[in-house]
Structure 1
Amino acid sequence: MANISQLIEHYIKKLLQDSPYGYVELQRNELAARFRCVPSQINYVLSTRFTADNGYVVESRRGGGGYIRIVKIPLDQQGDPAVQIYRLVGEEIDQAQAEKIIKRLAEEEFITAREARIFKAVMDRNTLRLDLPWRDRLRAQLLRAMLGAVLREK
Protein backbone atom coordinates (compact mmCIF):
# COMPACT_ATOMS: atom_id res chain seq x y z
CA MET A 1 0.00 0.00 0.00
CA ALA A 2 1.21 3.49 -0.82
CA ASN A 3 2.36 5.77 1.96
CA ILE A 4 0.90 9.23 2.55
CA SER A 5 3.70 10.98 0.62
CA GLN A 6 3.05 8.83 -2.44
CA LEU A 7 -0.69 9.47 -2.23
CA ILE A 8 -0.15 13.23 -2.04
CA GLU A 9 2.35 13.10 -4.92
CA HIS A 10 -0.02 11.09 -7.14
CA TYR A 11 -2.92 13.40 -6.33
CA ILE A 12 -0.97 16.52 -7.27
CA LYS A 13 0.37 14.90 -10.45
CA LYS A 14 -3.17 13.93 -11.45
CA LEU A 15 -4.32 17.51 -10.90
CA LEU A 16 -1.44 18.74 -13.06
CA GLN A 17 -2.24 16.22 -15.76
CA ASP A 18 -5.87 17.34 -15.84
CA SER A 19 -5.06 21.06 -15.72
CA PRO A 20 -5.49 22.91 -19.01
CA TYR A 21 -3.06 25.59 -17.78
CA GLY A 22 0.03 23.47 -17.07
CA TYR A 23 -0.06 24.40 -13.40
CA VAL A 24 -2.21 24.00 -10.30
CA GLU A 25 -2.80 26.26 -7.34
CA LEU A 26 -3.43 24.59 -4.01
CA GLN A 27 -3.79 25.66 -0.43
CA ARG A 28 -1.49 23.78 1.91
CA ASN A 29 -4.05 23.59 4.75
CA GLU A 30 -6.80 22.30 2.46
CA LEU A 31 -4.46 19.66 1.04
CA ALA A 32 -3.39 18.65 4.55
CA ALA A 33 -7.06 18.35 5.60
CA ARG A 34 -7.86 16.25 2.53
CA PHE A 35 -5.12 13.75 3.43
CA ARG A 36 -5.56 14.10 7.20
CA CYS A 37 -1.96 15.06 7.77
CA VAL A 38 -0.03 18.03 9.07
CA PRO A 39 0.94 20.83 6.66
CA SER A 40 4.62 19.96 7.15
CA GLN A 41 3.89 16.64 5.39
CA ILE A 42 2.77 18.66 2.36
CA ASN A 43 5.99 20.69 2.61
CA TYR A 44 7.99 17.46 2.66
CA VAL A 45 6.31 16.15 -0.48
CA LEU A 46 6.79 19.45 -2.29
CA SER A 47 10.45 19.75 -1.32
CA THR A 48 11.36 16.16 -2.22
CA ARG A 49 9.07 15.20 -5.13
CA PHE A 50 8.39 18.50 -6.91
CA THR A 51 11.90 19.85 -7.41
CA ALA A 52 13.52 21.54 -10.39
CA ASP A 53 15.49 18.32 -11.05
CA ASN A 54 12.17 16.52 -11.34
CA GLY A 55 10.83 19.15 -13.73
CA TYR A 56 8.70 21.31 -11.44
CA VAL A 57 8.68 24.86 -10.17
CA VAL A 58 6.91 25.45 -6.87
CA GLU A 59 5.89 28.97 -5.93
CA SER A 60 4.48 29.75 -2.53
CA ARG A 61 2.53 32.78 -1.39
CA ARG A 62 1.89 32.97 2.31
CA GLY A 63 -0.85 34.76 4.18
CA GLY A 64 -4.64 34.60 4.40
CA GLY A 65 -5.19 33.96 0.71
CA GLY A 66 -1.90 32.14 0.30
CA TYR A 67 -1.47 29.30 -2.11
CA ILE A 68 1.07 26.97 -3.60
CA ARG A 69 1.45 27.04 -7.38
CA ILE A 70 3.06 23.98 -8.93
CA VAL A 71 4.17 24.26 -12.54
CA LYS A 72 5.27 21.27 -14.62
CA ILE A 73 8.09 22.13 -17.01
CA PRO A 74 8.23 19.55 -19.81
CA LEU A 75 11.67 18.70 -21.16
CA ASP A 76 10.73 19.52 -24.75
CA GLN A 77 10.00 23.14 -23.80
CA GLN A 78 13.45 23.68 -22.31
CA GLY A 79 15.48 22.90 -25.44
CA ASP A 80 17.17 19.73 -26.63
CA PRO A 81 16.43 16.91 -24.13
CA ALA A 82 19.77 15.20 -24.82
CA VAL A 83 21.68 18.37 -23.86
CA GLN A 84 19.57 18.83 -20.74
CA ILE A 85 20.12 15.24 -19.65
CA TYR A 86 23.86 15.48 -20.19
CA ARG A 87 23.85 18.58 -17.99
CA LEU A 88 21.72 16.88 -15.31
CA VAL A 89 23.81 13.71 -15.26
CA GLY A 90 27.22 15.35 -15.25
CA GLU A 91 30.39 13.37 -14.63
CA GLU A 92 29.02 11.54 -11.58
CA ILE A 93 25.52 10.57 -10.50
CA ASP A 94 24.21 8.57 -7.57
CA GLN A 95 21.51 5.93 -7.87
CA ALA A 96 18.70 8.11 -6.47
CA GLN A 97 19.43 10.96 -8.90
CA ALA A 98 19.64 8.55 -11.84
CA GLU A 99 16.29 7.02 -10.91
CA LYS A 100 14.68 10.48 -10.74
CA ILE A 101 15.87 11.28 -14.25
CA ILE A 102 14.68 7.91 -15.54
CA LYS A 103 11.29 8.34 -13.86
CA ARG A 104 10.85 11.79 -15.35
CA LEU A 105 11.76 10.62 -18.85
CA ALA A 106 9.28 7.75 -18.59
CA GLU A 107 6.52 10.04 -17.29
CA GLU A 108 7.09 12.41 -20.21
CA GLU A 109 7.23 9.44 -22.63
CA PHE A 110 10.77 10.06 -23.86
CA ILE A 111 11.44 6.44 -22.91
CA THR A 112 9.07 3.51 -22.54
CA ALA A 113 8.22 1.83 -19.24
CA ARG A 114 10.26 -1.18 -20.41
CA GLU A 115 13.28 1.01 -21.17
CA ALA A 116 12.93 2.65 -17.76
CA ARG A 117 13.02 -0.75 -16.03
CA ILE A 118 16.13 -1.73 -17.99
CA PHE A 119 17.82 1.58 -17.21
CA LYS A 120 17.05 1.21 -13.50
CA ALA A 121 18.48 -2.31 -13.45
CA VAL A 122 21.72 -1.07 -15.00
CA MET A 123 21.91 1.91 -12.58
CA ASP A 124 21.46 -0.23 -9.46
CA ARG A 125 24.39 -0.28 -7.01
CA ASN A 126 24.11 -4.08 -6.89
CA THR A 127 24.80 -4.18 -10.62
CA LEU A 128 27.64 -1.66 -10.48
CA ARG A 129 29.78 -3.35 -7.85
CA LEU A 130 32.52 -0.74 -7.58
CA ASP A 131 33.69 1.51 -4.80
CA LEU A 132 32.76 5.17 -4.78
CA PRO A 133 33.48 7.46 -6.63
CA TRP A 134 34.10 5.02 -9.51
CA ARG A 135 30.58 3.61 -9.27
CA ASP A 136 28.95 7.05 -9.66
CA ARG A 137 31.27 7.91 -12.56
CA LEU A 138 30.49 4.66 -14.38
CA ARG A 139 26.76 5.12 -13.70
CA ALA A 140 26.91 8.60 -15.29
CA GLN A 141 28.73 7.28 -18.36
CA LEU A 142 26.27 4.43 -18.80
CA LEU A 143 23.22 6.64 -18.30
CA ARG A 144 24.44 9.21 -20.81
CA ALA A 145 25.21 6.47 -23.34
CA MET A 146 21.84 4.73 -22.93
CA LEU A 147 19.84 7.93 -23.04
CA GLY A 148 21.84 9.21 -25.98
CA ALA A 149 21.05 6.06 -27.94
CA VAL A 150 17.34 6.14 -27.10
CA LEU A 151 16.82 9.88 -27.62
CA ARG A 152 18.64 9.88 -30.99
CA GLU A 153 15.96 7.51 -32.27
CA LYS A 154 13.11 9.83 -31.29
Structure 2
Amino acid sequence: MRNISDIIEDYLKGILDENHQAVEIKRSEIAERFQCVPSQINYVIKTRFTVEKGYIVESKRGGGGYIRISRVQHRKDSDMISEVMELIHPRVSQTKAIDILARLVDYEIITAREGKLMESVIDRDVLAFPLPLRDEVRTRIMTAMLFTLKYKC
Protein backbone atom coordinates (compact mmCIF):
# COMPACT_ATOMS: atom_id res chain seq x y z
CA MET A 1 0.00 0.00 0.00
CA ARG A 2 1.28 3.44 -0.90
CA ASN A 3 1.65 6.13 1.70
CA ILE A 4 0.08 9.58 1.59
CA SER A 5 3.38 11.26 0.67
CA ASP A 6 3.65 9.14 -2.49
CA ILE A 7 0.05 9.95 -3.42
CA ILE A 8 0.55 13.69 -2.93
CA GLU A 9 3.80 13.59 -4.90
CA ASP A 10 2.11 11.78 -7.80
CA TYR A 11 -0.77 14.25 -7.75
CA LEU A 12 1.55 17.26 -7.93
CA LYS A 13 3.70 15.67 -10.63
CA GLY A 14 0.53 14.93 -12.60
CA ILE A 15 -0.42 18.59 -12.49
CA LEU A 16 3.10 19.52 -13.58
CA ASP A 17 2.87 17.07 -16.48
CA GLU A 18 -0.35 18.75 -17.63
CA ASN A 19 1.02 22.29 -17.30
CA HIS A 20 4.59 21.52 -18.41
CA GLN A 21 6.01 24.61 -16.73
CA ALA A 22 4.92 25.16 -13.16
CA VAL A 23 2.14 24.62 -10.67
CA GLU A 24 0.94 27.02 -8.00
CA ILE A 25 -0.78 25.48 -5.03
CA LYS A 26 -2.18 26.53 -1.71
CA ARG A 27 -0.87 24.27 0.99
CA SER A 28 -4.15 24.28 2.92
CA GLU A 29 -6.18 23.33 -0.17
CA ILE A 30 -3.96 20.36 -0.96
CA ALA A 31 -4.01 19.29 2.70
CA GLU A 32 -7.80 19.46 2.67
CA ARG A 33 -8.01 17.50 -0.58
CA PHE A 34 -5.93 14.65 0.88
CA GLN A 35 -7.30 15.01 4.40
CA CYS A 36 -3.90 15.49 6.00
CA VAL A 37 -2.16 18.19 7.99
CA PRO A 38 -0.51 21.04 6.07
CA SER A 39 2.89 20.03 7.44
CA GLN A 40 2.54 16.81 5.41
CA ILE A 41 2.44 18.95 2.27
CA ASN A 42 5.58 20.77 3.45
CA TYR A 43 7.30 17.41 3.97
CA VAL A 44 6.43 16.20 0.47
CA ILE A 45 7.60 19.41 -1.15
CA LYS A 46 10.81 19.56 0.88
CA THR A 47 11.79 15.94 0.22
CA ARG A 48 10.33 15.16 -3.20
CA PHE A 49 10.74 18.43 -5.10
CA THR A 50 14.41 19.30 -4.58
CA VAL A 51 16.95 20.92 -6.88
CA GLU A 52 18.73 17.58 -7.13
CA LYS A 53 15.53 16.11 -8.51
CA GLY A 54 15.15 18.97 -10.98
CA TYR A 55 12.64 21.28 -9.31
CA ILE A 56 12.57 24.85 -8.09
CA VAL A 57 10.21 25.68 -5.24
CA GLU A 58 9.16 29.22 -4.42
CA SER A 59 6.71 30.27 -1.76
CA LYS A 60 4.83 33.39 -0.80
CA ARG A 61 3.49 33.61 2.72
CA GLY A 62 0.35 35.35 3.87
CA GLY A 63 -3.34 35.31 3.01
CA GLY A 64 -2.84 35.14 -0.73
CA GLY A 65 0.19 32.92 -0.33
CA TYR A 66 1.09 30.06 -2.59
CA ILE A 67 3.78 27.52 -3.30
CA ARG A 68 5.06 27.42 -6.87
CA ILE A 69 6.79 24.27 -8.08
CA SER A 70 8.50 24.36 -11.44
CA ARG A 71 10.71 21.97 -13.33
CA VAL A 72 14.16 23.11 -14.25
CA GLN A 73 14.21 23.34 -18.04
CA HIS A 74 17.37 22.80 -20.07
CA ARG A 75 17.95 23.35 -23.73
CA LYS A 76 20.38 20.47 -24.03
CA ASP A 77 21.32 17.39 -22.04
CA SER A 78 24.82 18.79 -21.65
CA ASP A 79 23.37 21.82 -19.83
CA MET A 80 21.68 19.54 -17.32
CA ILE A 81 24.86 17.55 -16.82
CA SER A 82 26.79 20.79 -16.23
CA GLU A 83 24.25 21.89 -13.63
CA VAL A 84 24.44 18.53 -11.89
CA MET A 85 28.24 18.71 -11.83
CA GLU A 86 28.00 22.07 -10.07
CA LEU A 87 25.42 20.74 -7.58
CA ILE A 88 27.66 17.95 -6.34
CA HIS A 89 30.77 20.04 -5.59
CA PRO A 90 32.65 19.98 -3.27
CA ARG A 91 30.91 16.90 -1.85
CA VAL A 92 27.63 15.05 -2.23
CA SER A 93 25.76 12.72 0.11
CA GLN A 94 24.54 9.34 -1.06
CA THR A 95 20.90 10.45 -0.83
CA LYS A 96 21.45 13.51 -3.02
CA ALA A 97 23.57 11.50 -5.47
CA ILE A 98 20.79 8.94 -5.86
CA ASP A 99 18.26 11.76 -6.42
CA ILE A 100 20.49 13.17 -9.15
CA LEU A 101 20.83 9.78 -10.85
CA ALA A 102 17.04 9.34 -10.74
CA ARG A 103 16.68 12.74 -12.41
CA LEU A 104 19.08 11.70 -15.18
CA VAL A 105 17.04 8.53 -15.70
CA ASP A 106 13.75 10.49 -15.72
CA TYR A 107 15.11 12.81 -18.41
CA GLU A 108 16.44 9.80 -20.36
CA ILE A 109 20.03 11.01 -20.24
CA ILE A 110 20.98 7.63 -18.85
CA THR A 111 19.12 4.33 -18.83
CA ALA A 112 17.74 2.78 -15.65
CA ARG A 113 20.45 0.12 -15.92
CA GLU A 114 23.20 2.74 -16.18
CA GLY A 115 21.69 4.53 -13.21
CA LYS A 116 21.78 1.34 -11.13
CA LEU A 117 25.39 0.72 -12.13
CA MET A 118 26.38 4.25 -11.20
CA GLU A 119 24.45 3.98 -7.94
CA SER A 120 26.27 0.78 -7.00
CA VAL A 121 29.66 2.42 -7.46
CA ILE A 122 28.88 5.38 -5.18
CA ASP A 123 27.21 3.39 -2.39
CA ARG A 124 28.45 4.06 1.15
CA ASP A 125 29.24 0.36 1.58
CA VAL A 126 31.57 0.48 -1.42
CA LEU A 127 33.12 3.81 -0.43
CA ALA A 128 34.14 2.66 3.03
CA PHE A 129 35.82 5.90 4.05
CA PRO A 130 34.97 8.16 6.98
CA LEU A 131 32.90 11.29 6.34
CA PRO A 132 33.53 13.83 4.80
CA LEU A 133 36.12 11.96 2.72
CA ARG A 134 33.47 9.48 1.52
CA ASP A 135 31.30 12.28 0.11
CA GLU A 136 34.32 13.89 -1.57
CA VAL A 137 35.33 10.59 -3.21
CA ARG A 138 31.71 10.09 -4.32
CA THR A 139 31.82 13.54 -5.93
CA ARG A 140 35.03 12.72 -7.79
CA ILE A 141 33.60 9.45 -9.11
CA MET A 142 30.34 11.07 -10.17
CA THR A 143 32.17 13.97 -11.80
CA ALA A 144 34.24 11.53 -13.86
CA MET A 145 31.13 9.64 -14.98
CA LEU A 146 29.22 12.83 -15.76
CA PHE A 147 32.16 14.29 -17.65
CA THR A 148 32.24 11.15 -19.81
CA LEU A 149 28.50 11.42 -20.44
CA LYS A 150 28.80 15.07 -21.38
CA TYR A 151 31.80 14.95 -23.69
CA LYS A 152 32.35 11.40 -24.87
CA CYS A 153 28.89 10.45 -26.10
Normalising by structure 2, report the TM-score. 0.85
Whether 2:47 is the aligned partner of 1:48: answer yes
Whether 2:121 is the aligned partner of 1:122: answer yes
Q: Which amino acid aligns with 2:12?
A: I
- Cα distance in 1, alignment partners of residues 73 and 51 from structure 2: 11
Aligned to 2:16: 16
- Cα distance in 1, alignment partners of residues 89 and 132 from structure 2: 13
Normalising by structure 1, report the TM-score. 0.84
Higher alpha-carbon deviation: 54-63 or 136-145: 54-63
In structure 1, runs of 5+ residues without a counterpart are: none
Question: How does 1:1-150 map onto structure 2 within 5 Å?
Answer: 1-20=1-20, 22-76=21-75, 80-150=79-149
Q: What is the aligned-residue RMSD (CA, Å)?
A: 2.3
Shift of 1:31: 1.1
Aligned length: 153
Deviations 1:63-99 (A, max 9, x none): 4443322111124479723322221111322111111
Is the 2:78–2:150 Cα contact (8 Å) retained in structure 1? no
Taking only the aligned residue pairs, the percentage that are identical comes to: 44
In structure 2, runs of 5+ residues without a counterpart are: none
The SS at the match of 1:54 is coil
The SS at the match of 2:108 is coil
Q: Which amino acid aligns with 2:90?
A: E
